[in-house]
Structure 1
Amino acid sequence: MSDSADDETPMLGMDLPEMAPQPSSGPYRVLARKYRPQTFAELIGQDAMVRTLGNAIARDRLAHAFLMTGVRGVGKTSTARLIAKALNCIGPDGQGGPTIDPCGVCEPCRAITEGRHIDVIEMDAASNTGVDDVREIIEAVRYAAVSARYKIYIIDEVHMLSRNAFNALLKTLEEPPPHVKFLFATTEVNKVPVTVLSRCQRFDLRRITPDMLFAHFSSILQKEGVEAEAPAIWLIANAAEGSVRDGLSILDQAIAHADLDGGGTIAAAQVRVMLGLSDRSSIAQLMATILEGDAGAAIDLARAQYALGIEPVAMVRGLMDLTHAITLAKVSRHDDPALAEADRERIGDWAKKLGFAPLNRLWQLLLKGHDEVLRATNPLEHLEMLLLRVIYAASMPDPGELAKLLEKGGVPAMPLAAPAAPAAQESMAVEPVAVVEAAATESADTPASALTVAQIHQLLESTGNHRLAVDVYDHLRIITLEPGNLVFAPVAGLGASFARDLGDALLAQTGSRWQVREGEGEGRPSLGNIRAAALADNDARIRELPVVKAALAAFPDARLVDGADNRHKSNP
Structure 2
Amino acid sequence: MENFIVSARKYRPATFMSVVGQSALTATLKNAIRNNHLAHAYLFCGPRGVGKTTCARIFAKTINCAHLTPEFEACNECESCRAFNEQRSYNIHELDAASNNSVDDIRTLIDQVRIPPQIGHYSVYIIDEVHMLSASAFNAFLKTLEEPPAHAIFILATTEKHKILPTILSRCQIYDFNRISVNDTVEHLQHVANKEGINAEPQALNVIAQKADGGMRDALSIFDQVVSFCGNSITYQSVIQNLNVLDYDYYFKLTDVFLENKVKEALLIFNEILNKGFDAHNFVGGLSSHLRDVLMCKDPETVQLLEVADSVKESYAAQAQKCPNDFLYSALAVINDCDMNFRLSRNKRLLTELTLIRLCQLTDKKKNELSEEFALPPIELIPEMHLGQPDAQQANTAPIQRAVASNAQPAPSSQPAAQPTKRNVVTAPPPISISITKPPVKKEETDTRTTVRSQQTEKQDNNFTVDSLEKAWKHFATEIIPEKTHAKNIMLNNLPTIESKHKLKLILDQKLQESSMNEVLYDLTSFLRRNLMNDFVEMEIIVDTTKENTKVMSPQDKFAKMAESNPALLRLKKEFGLEID
Map 1:251-262 onto structure 2 (within 5 A).
251-259=223-231
Task: Choose which of 24, 29, 38 in structure 2 pairs with 1:62.
Answer: 38
CA contact (8 A) 2:383 2:420 kept: no
Tell me how far 1:290 sits from its aligned partner: 5.0
Tell me how far 1:198 sits from its aligned partner: 0.6
Task: Choose which of 402, 418, 425 in structure 2 pairs with 1:452.
Answer: 418
CA contact (8 A) 1:84 1:152 kept: yes
Task: Choose which of 366, 379, 386 in structure 2 pairs with 1:416.
Answer: 379
CA contact (8 A) 2:53 2:128 kept: yes
Q: Match of 2:245?
A: 277
Q: Match of 1:39?
A: 15
Tell me how far 1:293 sits from its aligned partner: 5.1
> In the alignment, does 2:74 pair up with 1:108?
no
Q: Match of 2:354?
A: 389
CA–CA separation in structure 1 for the residues paired with 2:332 and 2:281: 20
CA–CA separation in structure 1 for the residues paired with 2:342 and 2:194: 39
CA contact (8 A) 1:208 1:243 kept: yes
Task: Choose which of 132, 150, 164 in structure 2 pairs with 1:160.
Answer: 132
What is the identity percentage for the equivalent residue pairs of Structure 1 and Structure 2? 33
Q: Match of 2:579?
A: none
CA contact (8 A) 2:66 2:120 kept: no
CA contact (8 A) 1:89 1:103 kept: yes
Distance 1:80 1:98, change over 3 A: farther
Tell me how far 1:371 sits from its aligned partner: 4.4
Tell me how far 1:393 sits from its aligned partner: 3.9
Amino acid at match of 1:216: H
Map 1:206-217 onto structure 2 (within 5 A).
206-217=178-189
CA contact (8 A) 1:81 1:112 kept: no
Comparing 281-290 with 218-227, greater Cα deviation is found at: 281-290
Distance 1:270 1:372, change over 3 A: farther
CA contact (8 A) 1:299 1:384 kept: no
Tell me how far 1:243 sits from its aligned partner: 1.0
CA contact (8 A) 1:159 1:191 kept: yes
Amino acid at match of 1:212: D
Count, aligned residues: 417
Distance 1:37 1:420, change over 3 A: closer
> In the alignment, does 2:166 pair up with 1:194?
yes
CA contact (8 A) 1:118 1:146 kept: yes
Distance 1:55 1:416, change over 3 A: same
CA contact (8 A) 2:382 2:420 kept: no
Please give the secondary structure, in 2, of the residue aligned with 1:355.
helix
CA contact (8 A) 2:44 2:158 kept: yes
CA–CA separation in structure 1 for the residues paired with 2:420 and 2:325: 50
Distance 1:39 1:370, change over 3 A: farther
Distance 1:412 1:114, change over 3 A: same
Map 1:350-361 onto structure 2 (within 5 A).
350-352=322-324, 354-361=326-333
Task: Choose which of 161, 178, 195 in structure 2 pairs with 1:223.
Answer: 195
Task: Choose which of 130, 145, 148 in structure 1 pairs with 2:102.
Answer: 130
Distance 1:45 1:310, change over 3 A: same
Map 1:345-384 onto structure 2 (within 5 A).
347-352=319-324, 354-368=326-340, 371=343, 382-384=347-349
Q: Match of 2:233?
A: 265
Q: Match of 1:245?
A: 217
> Whose Rg is larger?
1
Amino acid at match of 1:387: T
Please give the secondary structure, in 2, of the residue aligned with 1:300.
helix
CA contact (8 A) 1:90 1:98 kept: no
CA–CA separation in structure 2 for the residues paired with 1:98 and 1:162: 43
Task: Choose which of 343, 346, 357 in structure 1 pairs with 2:315.
Answer: 343
CA contact (8 A) 2:44 2:157 kept: yes
CA–CA separation in structure 1 for the residues paired with 2:87 and 2:373: 76
Structure 2 segments unaligned to the other structure (5+ residues): 386-390, 422-446, 458-581
Distance 1:420 1:53, change over 3 A: closer
CA contact (8 A) 2:128 2:157 kept: yes
Distance 1:367 1:409, change over 3 A: closer
Amino acid at match of 1:415: P
> In the alignment, does 2:175 pair up with 1:203?
yes
Deviation track 1:24-82 (CA, whole Å, cap 9, x = no partner) reads xx422111101101000001221211222222222211100011111111100001101
CA–CA separation in structure 1 for the residues paired with 2:42 and 2:206: 34
Distance 1:353 1:175, change over 3 A: closer
> In the alignment, does 2:89 pair up with 1:89?
no
Comparing 348-357 with 35-44, greater Cα deviation is found at: 348-357
Q: Match of 2:283?
A: 315
Deviation track 1:310-346 (CA, whole Å, cap 9, x = no partner) reads 3434433332222222222334424432544773355
What TM-score do you get using the length of structure 2 for normalisation? 0.62
CA–CA separation in structure 2 for the residues paired with 1:311 and 1:409: 39
Map 1:297-336 onto structure 2 (within 5 A).
297-332=265-300, 333-334=302-303, 335=306, 336=308
CA contact (8 A) 1:57 1:98 kept: no
Distance 1:413 1:124, change over 3 A: same
Q: Match of 2:506?
A: none
Deviation track 1:253-277 (CA, whole Å, cap 9, x = no partner) reads 2222221xxxx32101111111111
Distance 1:97 1:292, change over 3 A: closer
Task: Choose which of 74, 79, 100 in structure 1 pairs with 2:50.
Answer: 74
CA–CA separation in structure 1 for the residues paired with 2:266 and 2:10: 46
Q: Match of 2:148?
A: 176
RMSD of equivalent CA atoms:
4.4
> In the alignment, does 2:5 pair up with 1:29?
yes
CA–CA separation in structure 2 for the residues paired with 1:149 and 1:53: 17
CA–CA separation in structure 1 for the residues paired with 2:70 and 2:344: 56
Tell me how far 1:388 sits from its aligned partner: 2.3
